[in-house]
Amino acid sequence: MNLSQVISRSKLQLVLPMLVVGSMLLSACGAADSTATPVPAATATKAAAPAATATTATTGGATATSAPVADTPVPAAGKGIMTISVAQQSTWVRNFNPFSGDFRFPTVNGIYEPMMIYNTVKGELQPWLATKYEWSADNKTLTITLRNDVKWSDGQAFAAKDVAFTFNLFKTTDGLQGPGGQAMNGATAYVDTVAAPSDTSVVFTFKQVFTPGLYDIIAQDIVPEHIWKDIKDPVKSTNENPVGTGPFTEIKQFENQIFEVDKNPNYWQPGKPYFQGMRQPAYTGNDQANLATVNGENDYAANFIPDIEKTFVAKDPANNGYWFPSVGATVMLYLNTTKKPFDDVNVRKAISMAIDRDQIATVAEYGYTKPADVTGLSDAYPNYKVADTSTLGDDWTKLNVDKANQMLDAAGLKKGADGMRTLADGSALTYDINVVTGWSDWVSACQIMAQGMKAIGINATVKPYDFSTWYDKVSKGDFDMSIGWSSGGATPFNYYRGQMSQRSAKAIGESAGEDWQRYVSKAGDDLLTQFAAISDAAKAKDIATKLQQTFASEAPAIPLFPGPSWYEYNNSRFTGWPTKDNPYAVGSWFSQGTPEQLIVMTTVKPK
């Protein structure tokens, strides 16, 4: 996934020239009607020349620069200052509001901190601002105990009232973003009240039993009451000088093209963080960031680099490293189950058996990931995932063209003389596979799938759309086949709810955040309801196994591969990065802030 994936230009190609030509015509008419120039023809050609340049510039398209690079001196950042590339921008806008959409890294889970951190690699909750949590017997009251030695970066003491304030702010203010909003605000809010009976204890009283809510609550970053109670509009505040409990809170420097956040002088973990601060240069895209990373200028980067062994590691094998664990959300092929023949589970499984996942993983994904299995779960669920997926019945995520053809024959999709199948009414099985323009790994995955489907008599064509158009189509159910991501979280609850639950299902034409294939499983929904009502780990695992069984037998969607999480490090100035051999947390930071980055930020040491 590179710059061109996030920023595709085809829409610009459409709009910009129209505007440019429009304004040019306006000014050209103006010029023609008034000025009696000696050679008007020349004027016209002259006028057109710069315009043509403008349009070619926009149709240029994405050009990857995975260039080998000569050794160049690294610009001097002070001792202990880490240079990182997490987000991409041409100019930074100063915004450290953790409730807004476009804050600067590391506002969430860096400047501010959550109560607990779910460690994806270890599959456990790690205490952070809180030391423990406890459910009441009826699972309707959650009591969280906080540390008593935490201070805000301005020196004031952190206490339970700050936690209660943060959650109640969500309740009273619309438009704040963060996991706490799901608990407190809107029609689906499940928490009734939040109270702070003592300085170290917070009590959440639920409206109805919903134990997965724990993971929303502990993940919400806490803001100081003594600052935020005076902020008039928390939605629109840009919070230029943040006060937080996190390891990095001091904005040392802020310029358009670079900013530096230094460590919190009052951090509650003694001696930590071990390094002085983090600098973020503005790179306009992956290509620019990768050039700097390959050049040794970045100590840390969370970007996709093609053919990384050759382009990055080989440049400096002693220092350059990466670790792409397959813990990201699983990438799926969605079939619109409201349309024939995709409402037939055997047809869905047959299509899945025509897909060569090994080829997708090695060719489209550069070998950075592996084929998905019939549970659809990535490696992020070691506590829940069935150890041997072959116990879940027929293996419909393995390539098996013969069996796929048999199943389609049995489903009544007859093969014609040309080898292509038709529906019972004679209409041809001709479909588009929707994909996002410029997301090159997905596009080539779709091409591999389209080839596979030809072999079972389905005529599929890869159809790239601009990002917002692609999303509009998939979220409103206006598609036949579409590649897409799935939902993640600390438990499989979110993933399966996004695949087969009434809770996520929307009518065709209505925008849905998940369950784009519009599939509802009665059995799955019952299991999800049970799952949401218990807090016992053994029982949860039991239900999760049944959920995997249900998914494997009903095939609501077709899992392709777990998304790798990108992360590269340079050992020459800092050590202690998480690696394959030392997997203490997922290394990939996310511009919107992943909780585990706090573990890494407080572990890495300068050399």
Closest to 333 measured CA to CA, from 183, 165, 445, 179: 445
Stretch that binds other proteins, among 159-167, 464-472, 543-551, 567-575 (CB under 8 A): 464-472
Q: Which of 514, 525, 554, 596 binds other proteins (CB under 8 A)?
A: 514
For residue 44, what are the CA distances in angstroms to 27, 34, 38? Answer: 11, 14, 12
Q: Is residue 60 within the footprint of other proteins (CB under 8 A)?
A: yes
Tell which one of 467, 502, 535, 606 touches other proteins (CB under 8 A).
Answer: 467
CB of 228 to other proteins, least distance (A): 15
d(C-alpha 390, C-alpha 373), whole Å: 9
If binding is defined by CB under 8 A, does position 376 make contact with other proteins?
no
Output the six-digit token pair for 567: 């992360």
Of 197, 265, 393, 513, which lies in the binding site for other proteins, with binding defined by CB under 8 A? 513
Nearer to other proteins, 100 or 550 (CB): 100
Closest CB to other proteins among 136 and 284?
284
Identify the residue among 2, 12, 432, 534 touching other proteins (CB under 8 A): 12
CA–CA separation, 101 and 108 (whole Å): 11
Binding to other proteins by CB under 8 A, coded x per residue (else -) over 303-342, reads: --------------------------x-------------
DSSP state of 174: T
Positions 108 through 147 that interact with other proteins (CB under 8 A): none
Distance, CA of 240 to CA of 266 (rounded, Å): 19
Of 39 and 417, CB closest to other proteins: 39
The 3 state secondary structure assigned to 210-263 is CCCHHHHHHHCCECCHHHHCCCCCCCCCCCCCCCCCCCEEEEEEECCCEEEEEE
Q: Which residue has the tokens 């203490």?
A: 584
Shortest CA distance to 524 belongs to which of 503, 545, 496, 487?
496
The answer to the question of residue 67 lying near other proteins (CB under 8 A) is yes
Our finding on whether 390 is near other proteins (CB under 8 A) is: no
Q: Does 232 bind other proteins (CB under 8 A)?
A: no
- Please identify, using beta-carbon distances, which residue of 136 and 241 lies nearer to other proteins: 241
Q: Which is nearer to other proteins, 182 or 369 (CB)?
A: 182
Determine if 231 is a binding residue for other proteins (CB under 8 A).
no
Decide: is 486 part of the binding site for other proteins (CB under 8 A): yes
201 counts as binding other proteins under rule CB under 8 A: no
Q: Which two tokens stand for residue 201?
A: 């204890």
Do the strands 568-570 and 320-322 form a parallel or antiparallel pair, or are they unpaired? antiparallel
C-beta of 35 vs 427, nearer to other proteins: 35
312 touches 568 (CB < 8 A): yes
Encoded one letter per residue, x for contact with other proteins by CB under 8 A and - for no contact, window 13-42 reads: --xx-xxx-xxx-xxx-xx--xxxxxxx-x
DSSP tag of 563: P
Beta strand ranges found along 86-190 (DSSP E) = 116-119, 124-127, 130-135, 141-146
Among positions 127, 345, 398, 471, the unique one binding other proteins when judged by CB under 8 A:
471
Which of 199, 307, 472, 536 binds other proteins (CB under 8 A)? It is: 472
Count of residues in the chain: 607
Determine the distance from the C-alpha atom of residue 219 to the mean position of all C-alpha atoms in its chain, rounded to a whole number.
16
Please report whether residue 519 would count as binding other proteins according to CB under 8 A: no
Using rule CB under 8 A, residue 235 touches other proteins: yes
User: Is the Cβ of residue 393 or residue 513 nearer to other proteins in the bound state?
Assistant: 513
CA distance 360 to 367: 8
Stretch that binds other proteins, among 117-125, 469-477, 526-534, 539-547 (CB under 8 A): 469-477
Q: How far is the CB of 178 from other proteins (least distance, A)?
A: 8
In the sheet that holds 320-322, the strands lie side by side as 248-254, 258-263, 277-281, 81-85, 300-301, 568-570, 320-322
- The CA distance from 477 to 471, in Å, is 10
Residue 565 engages other proteins in binding (rule: CB under 8 A): no
Q: Does 54 bind other proteins (CB under 8 A)?
A: yes
Choice between 378 and 602, CB closer to other proteins? 378
Q: Which of 262, 466, 525, 596 binds other proteins (CB under 8 A)?
A: 466
101: contact with other proteins by CB under 8 A: yes
Contact call for residue 57 and other proteins (CB under 8 A): yes
Closest CA to 208 of 180, 185, 187, 189: 189
CB of 356 to other proteins, least distance (A): 24
Q: Which is nearer to other proteins, 88 or 200 (CB)?
A: 88
Sequence-ordered list of residues with C-beta below 8 angstroms from that of 545, at least 6 positions apart, any chain: 384, 386
Question: Where in 286-305 is the site for other proteins (CB under 8 A)?
Answer: 288, 291-292, 295
Q: Decide whether 468 or 582 has the Cβ nearer to other proteins.
A: 468
Site for other proteins in 244-273 (CB under 8 A): 253, 255-258
Contact between 209 and other proteins (CB under 8 A)? no
Among 358, 485, 502, 606, binds other proteins (CB under 8 A): 485
Shortest separation between residue 391's beta carbon and other proteins, angstroms: 28
Applying CB under 8 A, the site for other proteins has a residue count of 112
207 near other proteins, judged by CB under 8 A: no
List CB contacts of 348: < 8 A, sequence separation 6 or more: 335, 337, 342, 555, 557, 558
- C-alpha dihedral, 226 to 229 to 232 to 237, nearest 10°: 60
Of 569 and 590, CB closest to other proteins: 590
Tell me which residue has tokens 């009052």. Answer: 266
- What 3-state DSSP class applies to 91? coil
Regarding 174 and contact with other proteins (CB under 8 A), the answer is: yes
Q: Which stretch binds other proteins (CB under 8 A): 118-126, 148-156, 200-208, 234-242?
A: 234-242
Q: Which range in 69-77, 351-359, 417-425, 518-526 contacts other proteins by CB under 8 A? A: 69-77
* H/E element, 166: helix 160-172
Near other proteins by CB under 8 A: residue from 131, 177, 200, 459: 177
Q: How far apart are the first and last CA of the chain?
A: 31
Rounded to whole angstroms, the Cα distance separating 258 from 260 reads 7
- Number of alpha helices (DSSP H) and beta strands (DSSP E) in the chain: 18, 22
Closest CA to 96 of 114, 108, 87: 108
